């Protein structure tokens, strides 16, 4: 069965055949041009001399259809016939010679990818001489979830646009993960830096805060990942800025607020407009690592073993091993990474040593838990590692009949909290926002969320009360009060708060 079907033939079609004819899956050509048919047969290409716009001559199955005659009108007709005959196939259509705007628009409707060699050549020449394309002034995107800047129907156009954006950066690129990065942010930053390097744009992956979680440290150390901290870089020396796994400069990263950003790649739903020359924010995807893996695959850039392993781990962590907020794309990206990933190292990453602080916080969370039906809230007092809160919230969720957990403590003048849900008919991101946003900041996903509240509002403590008791009364009181009338998640939608903005 041919995997590729060529409809019509001309100079472009001939070049495609030359590149693809040794493919083991084979290629079948259909053309009514006797000269091209003879040429193709001389090359041992299976060729049917027939009308490429007539489905009667088509084989029963084809996964990729290449429409490549020199006649724009026949290309439109062939693409339309192919789409009707193969509704699930990928259709790549050449515009032909001197197409009209209407013909190009018609191809855009039915084809997955439309190739215009003249336009492509023009862009490459402009890139080579350092001039912006004619539409460069229109390429900077500003939008919100639901706008064309975020919900473009043809995701295959995004990798080429990313490449164009990277090539126009007149110097080095700084790829910024959010502060205290998790595996998804770390892997995404390194993956995007790999893409930039592959096309000739030097790039550094950088983060603020610290990598505190044991599994995160294990991933960085065992895979020998090269990340820099903000203390090691001069932001002003970089010609471009990219954000991964978050979408606003100065919000949960160490950039100055208002920093001009060139590239944004994220899977968290933003709260407001996002600006950048290239913006790809897809809340229906489970991990930013999925988007980076897709770019690598579509651009033909092979990740090294360390990056492939990190991306796979990033997907697994953010989807909780494909059990929460997961999409088909996450499964596909993970499957594509497995052949290049180091499974033995991944096993070691997933079973790191546990710090005494994590065990102490978990013990305190169990000891101090306040259980109301299937909801558990627990104040663990003063902490030295806020990542321990997330681990404790995860572990409490394993208790019998638990559906929602919320673990909180304080350090360095701030109260931090981490919430988890499983099988609960509510959105914990919205729940924490209702409970604590007026006092600090809170938000996240339906199944995992975080909050932080300055302790300054609790400084006027009665002398006969311990600070732990005051914190517990304030936080638990607001949490359970909000729980009395919880916001239910809307089926088929995602929360409206970027979880990466808060410690989860």
Q: Is residue 25 predicted with pLDDT exceeding 60? A: no
Specify whether domain 4-115 bears CATH 3.30.70.2610.
no
Distance CA 409, CA 391 (A): 13
Domain boundaries, the chain: 4-115, 138-350, 356-501
Counting DSSP H helices and E strands in the chain, the numbers are 16, 20
Helix (H) or strand (E) holding 65: strand 64-67
Using pLDDT thresholds of 50, 70 and 90, give the confidence band for residue 53. very high
Per-residue pLDDT reduced to its tens digit, 314-336: 999 988 888 878 899 999 999 99
Residue 144 has pLDDT above 90, yes or no: no
Does the pLDDT value for residue 493 go beyond 50? no
User: Domain 356-501 belongs to what architecture?
Assistant: Roll (3.10)
Predicted local confidence at residue 127, as pLDDT: 56
| Equal fold, 4-115 vs 138-350 | no
**If you search the block for the tokens 């039915």, which residue do you land on?**
110
Classify residue 178 as left (phi > 0), alpha (psi -120 to 50) or beta: beta
Mean pLDDT calculated for residue range 402-418: 93
The reported pLDDT for the residue numbered 76 is 95
Give the pLDDT score at 499. Answer: 38
The pTM score is: 0.56
pLDDT of residue 275: 86
110 phi and psi, to 5 degrees?
-105, -25
Q: Which two tokens stand for residue 118?
A: 């003249």
What is the phi-psi region of residue 180: left when phi exceeds 0, alpha when psi lies from -120 to 50, beta otherwise? left
What rounded mean pLDDT belongs to the chain? 83
Indicate whether 44 pLDDT > 70.
yes
The residue assigned the tokens 């490459």 is 124
Q: Which two tokens stand for residue 172?
A: 């080095």
User: What's the topology of domain 138-350?
Assistant: inorganic pyrophosphatase (n-terminal core) (3.90.1640)
Provide mean pLDDT across the span 26-44.
87
Instruction: Tell me the two tokens of residue 73.
Output: 């009108």
Looking only at the bridges linking them, the beta strands covering 228-229 and 375-382 are: unpaired
Q: 421 forms bridges with which residues in the sheet?
A: 404
């Amino acid at each position: 069965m041919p995997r590729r079907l060529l409809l019509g033939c001309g100079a472009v079609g001939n070049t495609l055949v030359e590149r693809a004819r040794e493919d083991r899956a084979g290629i079948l050509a259909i053309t009514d041009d006797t000269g091209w048919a003879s040429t193709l047969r001389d090359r041992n290409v299976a060729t049917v001399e027939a009308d490429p716009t007539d489905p009667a001559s088509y084989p029963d199955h084809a996964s990729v259809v290449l429409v490549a005659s020199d006649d724009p009108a026949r290309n439109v007709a062939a693409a339309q016939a192919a789409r009707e005959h193969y509704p699930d196939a990928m259709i790549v259509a050449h515009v032909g010679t001197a197409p009209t705007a209407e013909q190009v628009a018609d191809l855009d409707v039915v084809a997955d990818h439309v190739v215009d060699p003249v336009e492509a050549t023009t862009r490459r020449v402009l890139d080579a001489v350092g001039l912006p394309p004619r539409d460069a002034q229109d390429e900077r995107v500003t939008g919100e979830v639901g706008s064309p800047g975020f919900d473009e129907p043809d995701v295959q156009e995004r990798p080429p646009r990313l490449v164009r954006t990277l090539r126009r950066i007149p110097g080095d690129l700084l790829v910024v993960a959010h502060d205290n990065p998790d595996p998804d942010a770390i892997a995404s930053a390194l993956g995007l830096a790999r893409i930039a390097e592959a096309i000739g744009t030097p790039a550094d992956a950088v983060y603020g805060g610290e990598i505190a979680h044991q599994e995160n440290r294990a991933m960085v150390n065992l895979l020998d990942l090269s990340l820099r901290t903000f203390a090691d870089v001069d932001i002003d020396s970089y010609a471009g800025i990219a954000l991964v796994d978050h979408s606003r400069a100065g919000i949960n990263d160490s950039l100055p607020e208002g920093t001009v950003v060139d590239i944004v790649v994220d899977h968290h739903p933003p709260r407001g407009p996002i600006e950048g020359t290239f913006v790809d924010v897809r809340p229906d995807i489970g991990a930013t690592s999925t988007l980076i893996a897709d770019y690598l695959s579509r651009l033909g850039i092979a990740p090294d073993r360390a990056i492939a392993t990190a991306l796979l781990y990033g997907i697994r962590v953010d989807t909780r091993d494909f059990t929460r907020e997961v999409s088909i794309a996450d499964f596909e990206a993970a499957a594509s990474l497995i052949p290049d990933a180091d499974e033995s190292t991944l096993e070691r990453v997933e079973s790191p040593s546990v710090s005494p602080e994590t065990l102490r916080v978990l013990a305190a969370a169990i000891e101090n838990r306040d259980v109301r039906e299937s909801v558990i809230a627990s104040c663990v007092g003063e902490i030295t590692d806020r990542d321990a809160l997330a681990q404790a919230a995860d572990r409490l969720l394993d208790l019998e009949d638990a559906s929602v957990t919320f673990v909180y403590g304080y350090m360095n003048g701030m109260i931090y909290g981490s919430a988890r849900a499983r099988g609960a008919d509510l959105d914990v991101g919205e729940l924490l926002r209702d409970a604590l946003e007026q006092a600090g900041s809170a938000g996240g996903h339906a199944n995992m969320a975080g909050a932080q509240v300055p302790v300054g509002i609790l400084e006027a403590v009665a002398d006969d009360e311990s600070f732990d008791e005051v914190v517990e009364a304030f936080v638990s009181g607001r949490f359970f009060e909000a729980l009395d009338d919880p916001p239910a998640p809307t089926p088929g939608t995602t929360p409206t708060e970027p979880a990466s903005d808060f410690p989860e």
